[in-house]
């Protein structure tokens, strides 16, 4: 799933939103699969990036594209470019849940 595109001198990465608990900040986990140089096995490496989300449009589970920018805080060096794919939102009616628990 690791996709890294260089446009000009700005790097873009594609990853999954892990957390949106901070105001205007999302945590994006980028997964990179590579072959181990000695053992020739496929290894999955994960890296978390803090990205700025001005409009707070991203939700946990979304696949997003982030782009490199100037340092915005101690950890934030990325901006949200766009949401590639939305996560499936599952909701259940409270009355229906109560009926299933107490038939």
pTM over 0.85: no
Mean pLDDT of the chain: 90
CATH number of the CATH domain containing 39: 2.40.50.140
Domain residues for 97? 3-101
* Residue-wise pLDDT tens digits, 46-80: 999 999 999 999 999 999 999 999 999 999 999 99
d(CA 64, CA 44): 19
Question: Number of structural domains, the chain?
Answer: 1
Q: Is the pLDDT of residue 30 over 70?
A: yes
């Amino acid at each position: 799933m690791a996709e890294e595109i260089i446009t000009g001198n700005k790097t873009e990465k594609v990853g999954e939103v892990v957390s949106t608990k901070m105001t205007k900040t999302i945590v994006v986990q980028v997964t990179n699969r590579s072959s181990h140089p000695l053992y020739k096995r496929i290894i999955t490496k994960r890296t978390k990036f803090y990205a700025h989300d001005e409009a707070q449009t991203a939700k946990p589970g979304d696949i997003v594209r982030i782009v490199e920018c100037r340092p915005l805080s101690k950890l934030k060096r990325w901006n949200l470019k766009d949401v590639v794919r939305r996560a499936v939102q599952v909701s259940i009616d409270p009355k229906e849940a109560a009926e299933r628990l107490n038939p």
